[in-house]
Amino acid sequence: MTFGKVTGTVVASQRSDEITGLKYLLVRSCNEKGDMGDDYLVALDLVGCGRGEMVLLSQGSSVRQTEVTKQKAVDCVIVGIVDLVEKQGKVVFRK
């Protein structure tokens, strides 16, 4: 898993088989301390996270393995809200 911060929302619709728009979260990559990087990803939220929170991202086909994402063409999900990161005995991030 990698780290990211929730920075916005993406609304997308599907003309073919669904009428209602789906809401995804816009996530910016960050390092283990929470310092933000340059990459943005669109992720499905499995954990109920809020704006600005540091989250754990799981990418690739592993993301199908939950009740929510089963049978959906989703390749990036938020699997947890980061509460604390400890590195060589020091707390480098705390929520």
26 lies in the site for a copy of itself, by CB under 8 A: yes
88 lies in the site for a copy of itself, by CB under 8 A: yes
Quote the least distance from Cβ 59 to a copy of itself, whole Å.
Answer: 6
> Which residues, listed in sequence order, are joined to residue 38 by a DSSP beta bridge?
none
> Which residues have C-beta within 8 Å of that of residue 30, sequence separation ≥ 6?
3, 4, 5, 36, 37, 54
- Considering only residues 67 through 86, tell me which ones interact with a copy of itself, judged by CB under 8 A: 69-77, 79-86
29 lies in the site for a copy of itself, by CB under 8 A: no
Beta strand 36-45 pairing with 22-30: antiparallel
